């Protein structure tokens, strides 16, 4: 079953803004976007200005005493990347919704709920925001069922994320909560007297189709938890990742070097086939207790070769050596860019295998583009008899 964690950091924008502009502390501060209040300071909230109300309403309450800040997502991108990098320790399939929220794919994990709790604890330690989260088999249900996390209980090891009885929860929802449906359809269901989704389940597919046309099938699937929306990973942007697990926890540098070499060779094969270069590299090591070590570096020059990637990985461990044994090693390449060269050179590749892979990739890509009869290997081109005689004479006499 799919497992998607939805996470929202409450107060994220306010915390980042006050960190950059401490002079705003203590003021009735309103952060807004598209005419709606997104977050407020305690001073503003004490005067009944709350998230969700219109900006005009907030201004009528606070008047000139309020400080109003228009949210610009690019302003919070660096802070967003900081906490999303922490999320890479549990998954490399992340879909940000906003700088303060995202879906994280935990499908395939042995215990996704326990892993989610561990990540929330890590995020709370590094961030300090109030968290709202939930785990479900679809994006819309994870967001709909998200609830505030009890931070004190989480610190004591009390589980906060649980596997939901999804069908039972959906039956108790209001039609307004069925976000896969268009707002007009949800409003119409309410006007028809369906105050809870469970009441709609008694309606047959035929009746729903008669009442809502083609949308009747979608309603039928959503209320029975048969319609699933999946995560579309967009973070890290344009990325590739690969993970290797050790037989047991190890701190042996030789074993780790072999694993890094294998990861880098896998990366080169993928990058060469796609004809792209990496501009950023992330290396993650999972320690035996479940904690993660991470190294991240923006490359001064885009890299495609295994030797270049391996040099960067080795530099990580030289600058920040491992302090504890690790059980898995993950390599993530970010911001992949298409090659812009017009001619390929193999001179910089010392490894014969690297040269062979690069040459074959370029050859077959060119044949695919221009046709089989246009390109040939040098040994496939017949040599004139005169040239053969001159070569034989040179080899026999040494004369050029």
**The two three-digit tokens of residue 83, written as one number:** 């906490």
Q: What is the dotted CATH code of the domain comprising 240-338?
A: 3.30.1490.100
Q: What is the pLDDT along the chain (400 residues), one digit of tens a residue?
A: 789 999 999 999 999 999 999 999 999 999 999 999 999 999 999 999 999 999 999 999 999 999 999 999 889 999 999 999 999 888 889 999 999 999 999 988 889 999 999 999 989 888 778 999 999 999 999 999 999 999 888 888 888 999 899 999 999 999 999 999 999 999 999 999 999 999 999 999 999 999 999 999 999 999 999 999 988 888 988 888 899 999 889 999 999 999 999 999 999 999 988 889 999 999 999 888 777 888 999 988 899 999 999 999 999 999 898 888 999 999 999 999 987 654 555 555 567 777 777 777 777 777 777 777 667 767 777 888 888 888 887 777 766 5
235, 96 contact by CB (below 8 A):
yes
Domain boundaries, the chain: 1-163, 168-223, 240-338
What is the C-alpha separation between 42 and 31, in angstroms, rounded?
12
Would you state the pLDDT for residue 312?
Answer: 92
For residue 166, the model assigns a pLDDT of 94
Q: Residue 150: its pLDDT value, please?
A: 92
1-163 under CATH 3.30.70.270, yes or no? yes
Q: Look at residue 345 in the predicted model and tell me its pLDDT.
A: 57
Element (H, E) at 25: none
Task: Quickly list DSSP for 102-142.
Answer: EEEE-TT-S-HHHHHHHHHHHHHHHT--EEEEEEESSHHHH
Q: Please, what's the b/e burial string for 1-39 (b: 16 or more CB within 10 A of its CB; e: otherwise)?
A: ebbbbbbbbbbbbbbbbbeeeeeeeeebbbbbbeeebbb
Query: What pLDDT is recorded for position 126?
Result: 81
pLDDT of residue 289: 74
pLDDT digit string, tens, across residues 79-90:
999 999 999 888
* pLDDT at residue 342, as a whole number: 47
Residue 390's pLDDT is: 83
**Top-tier CATH class for 168-223:** mainly alpha
β-bridge pairing 67-70 and 29-33: parallel
């Amino acid at each position: 079953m799919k497992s998607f964690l939805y996470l929202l950091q409450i107060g994220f924008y306010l915390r980042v803004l006050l960190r950059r502009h401490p002079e705003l502390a203590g003021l009735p501060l309103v952060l807004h976007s598209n005419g709606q209040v997104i977050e407020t300071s305690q001073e503003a909230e004490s005067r009944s200005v709350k998230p969700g109300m219109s900006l005009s309403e907030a201004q009528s309450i606070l008047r000139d005493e309020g400080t109003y800040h228009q949210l610009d997502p690019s302003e919070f991108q660096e802070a967003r990347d900081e906490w999303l990098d922490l999320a890479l320790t549990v998954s490399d399939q992340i879909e940000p919704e906003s700088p303060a929220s995202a879906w994280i794919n935990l499908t395939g994990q042995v215990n996704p709920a326990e892993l989610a709790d561990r990540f929330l604890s890590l995020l709370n330690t590094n961030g300090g925001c109030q968290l709202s989260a939930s785990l479900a088999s679809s994006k819309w249900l994870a967001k709909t069922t998200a609830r505030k996390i009890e931070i004190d209980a989480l610190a004591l090891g009390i589980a906060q994320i649980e596997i939901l009885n999804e069908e039972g929860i959906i039956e108790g929802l209001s039609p307004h909560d069925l976000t896969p449906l268009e707002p007009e359809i949800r409003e119409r269901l309410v006007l028809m007297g369906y105050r809870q989704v469970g009441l709609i389940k008694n309606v047959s597919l035929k009746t729903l189709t008669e009442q809502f046309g083609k949308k009747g099938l979608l309603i039928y699937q959503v209320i029975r938890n048969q319609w699933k929306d999946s995560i579309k990973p967009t973070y890290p942007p344009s990325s590739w990742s690969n993970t290797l697990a050790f037989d047991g926890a190890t701190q042996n540098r030789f074993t780790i070097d072999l694993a890094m070499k294998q990861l880098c060779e896998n990366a080169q094969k993928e990058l060469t086939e796609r004809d792209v270069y990496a501009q950023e590299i992330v290396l993650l090591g999972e320690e035996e207790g479940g904690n993660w070590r991470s190294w991240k570096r923006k490359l001064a020059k885009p890299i495609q070769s295994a030797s270049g990637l391996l040099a960067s990985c080795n530099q990580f461990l030289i600058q920040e050596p491992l302090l504890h044994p690790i059980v898995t090693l993950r390599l993530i390449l970010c911001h992949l860019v298409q090659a812009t060269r017009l001619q390929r050179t193999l001179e910089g590749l010392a490894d014969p295998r690297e040269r062979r892979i690069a040459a074959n990739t370029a050859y077959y890509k060119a044949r695919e583009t221009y046709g089989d009869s246009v390109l040939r290997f040098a040994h496939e081109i017949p040599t004139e008899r005169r040239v053969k005689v001159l070569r034989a004479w040179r080899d026999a006499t040494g004369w050029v």
